[in-house]
Amino acid sequence: MIRTPADAPLDTPQDAPAISSADGDTPAVLVLADGTVLRGLACGARGRVCGEVVFNTGMTGYQEVLTDPSYAGQLITFTYPELGNTGVNGEDLEADHAHARGCIVRQLAPRPSNWRCEATLDHWLRRQGVVGIRGVDTRALVRHLREGGAINGAIASDGTDPATLLEQVLAAPSMEGLNLAARVSTREPYGWDRPSAAAFDTRLQPRPERPYRVVAIDFGIKRAILERLVAHGCVVTVLPADATLPQVLELEPEGVFLSNGPGDPAAVSEGIALARDLLQQPQLPVFGICLGHQILGLALGGCSFKLGYGHRGLNHPCGSPGSVEITSQNHGFALDAASLPPERVRITHLNLNDRTVAALALRHQPVFGVQYHPEASPGPHDADHHFGRFVALMAERR
């Protein structure tokens, strides 16, 4: 499969070709590890790709989903029936390139219409090397995944027969035990001091005279997280996933952030070791999101487990007594509440669909984590206050 450079500029709608009948009729096939075969038509890049088949229930945000590093190694089934209506633009990327391996859709819009559109989704998928299949009964596929759980699968639009694809799928590793954070993390430290470039995002907060110095550990960090930290008055230095405590403390941070990311949290051994060391700094504020939240729990002696089909979408209710937040989520693992030490940890939020741990806080240290994504803005901004909470802890320490 040929990949184009990740930083290639987006084409304008005039330059992006519409789907021709000859090109649009290229057959494609999706094969699951249980032998299920679904046939459709190719979209995106031509080729074949293997990964974990999951589904996302969001009605918007396909560009953010496809570029979210937390989707590394996965083939995403979009439950919304038509994708690509608003095209693709340069402001909504969560990373410099797509991280999802494959895209599974019911219908792909050939002619996008939006004032921010810079390219069609199909053309962008081709440039990013993301293999896709369209024309699939995604409702039936999602029911299958809900009943049997997330499962490995493969998409092919290069003529590979289903039997050969099934052999490749069965030989692919399970998501359990995979440290994908090490693959998507930055290789070199870098700084970030820019809020969102989107002119309509007016959620900037009052800025302190001196920005708060934050060190963010990149396990697959989303760009929107960096933008929200800056919007709340922080200047961020991003370190690789294998950063050590001396490297962190050398930067004299006022707070440390543990990012989201893909794969099995229990396999991110270096991140767990760093979190344990950070917990030995009793006055240092620490904030974790998604994988970072799970790493905190594991560093505290807890255990994680794989969810049947994960939580991926924009409308998951999470609550604490007397309060409910509608949240954006993307994770296939969760913390076991019974494994967390109650004398040290307080579970502050639960996922109200299945009662799994949605947020935790330490009782006697300025440390907390949330399983969902407070930086996401799919409509409600219910959870953005968690960034303010992190800043307040740094202000109190200062």
Question: Tens of pLDDT along 19-69?
Answer: 333 455 899 999 999 999 999 999 999 999 999 999 999 999 999 999 999
Question: Tens of pLDDT along 79-96?
Answer: 999 999 999 999 899 999
Common-topology check for domains 21-171 and 181-397: no
Q: Which residues contact 291 (CB under 8 A, 6 or more apart)?
A: 70, 181, 219, 220, 258, 259, 260, 261, 262, 263, 265, 268, 331
**181-397 belongs to which homologous superfamily?**
Class I glutamine amidotransferase (GATase) domain (3.40.50.880)
pLDDT at residue number 197:
65
Active site residue 293: no
Active site residue 50: no
Rounded mean pLDDT of 192-203?
Answer: 71
pLDDT at residue number 376:
85
Tell me the pLDDT of the chain averaged across its residues. 91
- Between 202 and 74, the more confident residue is 74
Q: Which long-range contacts (CB under 8 A, 24 or more apart) does 273-280 make?
A: 273/299, 274/217, 274/243, 274/244, 274/245, 274/248, 275/299, 277/244, 277/245, 278/245, 278/248, 279/362, 279/365, 279/367
DSSP-based three-state secondary structure for 182: helix
Active site residue 290: yes
CATH fold label, 21-171: Glucose Oxidase; domain 1 (3.50.30)
One of 118, 290, 293, 386 is an active-site residue; which one? 290
One of 311, 318, 375, 386 is an active-site residue; which one? 375
What are the residue ranges spanned by the domains of the chain?
21-171, 181-397
Rounded mean pLDDT of 157-186?
Answer: 96
CA distances from 325 to 12, 17, 307, 317, 382 (A): 38, 41, 21, 6, 5
Q: Would the pLDDT of 1 be above 90?
A: no
- Containing 50, the helix (H) or strand (E) segment is strand 48-56
